[in-house]
């Protein structure tokens, strides 16, 4: 026996409130996570830590913590409700930001960053699931694109704080992180921002996580996990590391890098929003593959300009903008999870896949940092090119589904 699962529907005004809240959550959770990447050399210097040793492992551990948080909060969201899971995830990552600003050594910093990772990991997957339950068809692509556009906005905000505000004598990185903890006020709004039933399917028990690897879902789970792991590696080892690498390895000033980040992430916002429109018109898979190849081409352009970055930083920035355009692929994942999994399993599927994909970064980040040390950033760019190209091929292997799958009794 089986029965079909329908999406939760909400009136249009309420749907707008849901999207606005989830978008803000994405902006600020990504801001909290990426801010550490931009400030880590200063933090390492102040705390007497090795930026390519202990700090690289701490950053890797925080990404592993997002994996733990993603799975734990995703299961809770499917079992107990979206609203309480979102509230607690925001509180946890805000507490992590506060403790980062108060850190006195490697162990307190590790605790702070792991708390941040736990909260951020939870918010990501739940946000995707909530949006998928309020939109369907082509509108879902556009809604997920708006949600994903919060990430580059958060990255640009983090760059502005790290490269323009934190260096001010009267501010510093501690004040910036402690101030970020105020974002926990979003949790108070979460109680009112999510309308309708607080569960994916009212009155239906949650599905066990093991169903992700049942015959019906196994192929989707494996492929989405692989593509996400490739994207995570390309992002955290290349895109997120490029700003500090330009300062440490290629003689670019912090001010130049700050403006570089604002420009590239502005392009990234356009790419995220544009992806939703193009995917609704031409299909998710072909647009995803095209953006992956553009992202790979952007890596090669940056590689070509890398050794001339100091002499002609404007040309280097234009090359990096191709990476920003290609990064619109991130807008596709929410719609793909909405397409491949039923509502009662959706938050678990998205959160678990993001979690496992991010956990790969625990050994990868310190290994890459050790391999490059103070040498050129070129090896990371070759890694990013390979990850993007392989993602373009794998997306076409996903099952084609247009309706929700039946849910077993």
SS3 3: strand
Q: What is the full per-residue pLDDT of the chain (409 aa) written as tens digits?
A: 333 333 444 445 477 777 887 888 778 878 888 899 888 889 998 999 887 778 888 888 888 888 788 778 877 777 777 777 877 888 888 899 999 999 999 999 999 999 988 888 777 767 777 777 777 767 777 787 788 788 888 888 888 898 889 988 889 999 999 988 887 776 666 656 565 555 544 455 666 778 888 888 889 999 999 999 998 888 877 877 788 778 877 778 888 888 888 888 888 888 888 888 888 888 889 999 999 999 999 889 888 888 777 777 888 888 888 888 888 888 888 778 878 888 777 777 877 787 788 777 767 766 766 666 556 778 888 888 999 999 999 999 998 865 444 444 3
Q: What is the pLDDT of residue 224?
A: 93
Q: How many H helices and E strands in the chain? A: 17, 2
What crossing angle do the helices spanning 378-394 and 284-305 adopt, rounded to 10°?
Answer: 170
Q: What is the pLDDT of residue 350?
A: 77
Contact 333/224 with Cβ under 8 angstroms? yes
Q: Which two tokens stand for residue 73?
A: 């909060």
Q: What share of the chain is helix, strand, coil (3-state, %, to 5)?
A: 80, 0, 20
In a domain, 202, yes or no: no
Residue 25 sits in which domain range?
7-195+208-400
Q: What is the pLDDT of residue 322?
A: 82
Smallest CA-to-CA distance from 201 within 1, 406, 408, 7 is with 7
In a domain, 408, yes or no: no
Q: What is the pLDDT of residue 286?
A: 94
The phi, psi pair for 368, rounded to 5°, reads -70, -40
For the domain that residue 148 is a member of, what is the CATH number?
Answer: 1.20.1250.20
In a domain, 325, yes or no: yes
In a domain, 1, yes or no: no
In a domain, 200, yes or no: no
In a domain, 126, yes or no: yes
Give the Cα separation of 353 and 329 in Å (integer).
16
Number of domains making up the chain: 1
- DSSP secondary structure string, 277-319? HHHHHH-HHHHHHHHHHHHHHHHHHHHHHGGGTTT-HHHHHHH
In a domain, 131, yes or no: yes
In a domain, 260, yes or no: yes
Distances (CA, A) of 131 to 303, 390, 405: 37, 28, 18
Q: What is the pLDDT of residue 114?
A: 92
């Amino acid at each position: 026996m089986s029965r079909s699962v329908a999406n939760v529907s909400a009136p249009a005004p309420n749907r707008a409130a849901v999207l606005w809240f989830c978008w803000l959550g994405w902006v600020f959770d990504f801001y909290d996570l990426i801010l550490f990447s931009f400030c880590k050399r200063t933090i390492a210097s102040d705390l007497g830590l090795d930026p390519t040793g202990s700090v690289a492992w701490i950053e890797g551990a925080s990404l592993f913590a997002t994996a733990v948080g993603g799975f734990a909060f995703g299961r809770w969201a499917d079992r107990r409700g979206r609203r309480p899971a979102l509230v607690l995830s925001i509180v946890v990552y805000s507490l992590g930001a506060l403790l980062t600003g108060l850190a006195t050594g490697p162990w307190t910093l590790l605790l702070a960053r792991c708390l941040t990772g736990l909260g951020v990991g939870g918010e990501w997957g739940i946000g995707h699931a909530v949006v998928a339950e309020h939109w369907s068809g082509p509108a879902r692509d556009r809604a997920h694109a708006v949600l994903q556009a919060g990430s580059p906005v958060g990255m640009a905000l983090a760059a502005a704080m790290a490269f323009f505000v934190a260096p001010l004598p009267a501010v510093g990185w501690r004040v910036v992180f402690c101030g970020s903890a105020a974002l926990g006020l979003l949790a108070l709004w979460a109680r009112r921002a999510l309308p309708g039933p607080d569960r994916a399917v009212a009155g239906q028990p949650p599905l066990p996580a093991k169903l992700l690897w049942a015959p019906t879902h196994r192929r989707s789970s494996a492929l989405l996990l692989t593509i996400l792991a490739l994207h995570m590696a390309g992002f955290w080892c290349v895109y997120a590391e490029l700003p500090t690498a330009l300062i440490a390895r290629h003689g670019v000033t912090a001010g130049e890098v700050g403006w570089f980040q604002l420009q590239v992430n502005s392009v990234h916002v356009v790419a995220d929003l544009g992806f939703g429109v193009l995917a609704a018109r031409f299909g998710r898979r072909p647009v995803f593959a095209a953006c992956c190849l553009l992202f790979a081409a952007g890596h090669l352009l940056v590689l070509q300009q890398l050794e001339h970055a100091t002499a002609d930083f404007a040309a280097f920035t234009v090359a990096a903008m191709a990476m920003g355009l290609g990064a619109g692929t991130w807008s596709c994942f929410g719609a793909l999870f909405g397409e491949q999994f039923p509502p009662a399993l959706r938050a678990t599927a998205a959160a678990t896949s993001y979690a496992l994909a991010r956990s790969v970064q625990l050994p990868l980040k310190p290994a890459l940092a050790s391999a490059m040390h103070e040498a050129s950033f070129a090896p990371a760019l070759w890694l990013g090119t390979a990850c993007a190209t392989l993602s373009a091929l794998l997306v076409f292997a996903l099952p084609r589904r247009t309706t929700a799958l039946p849910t077993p009794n």
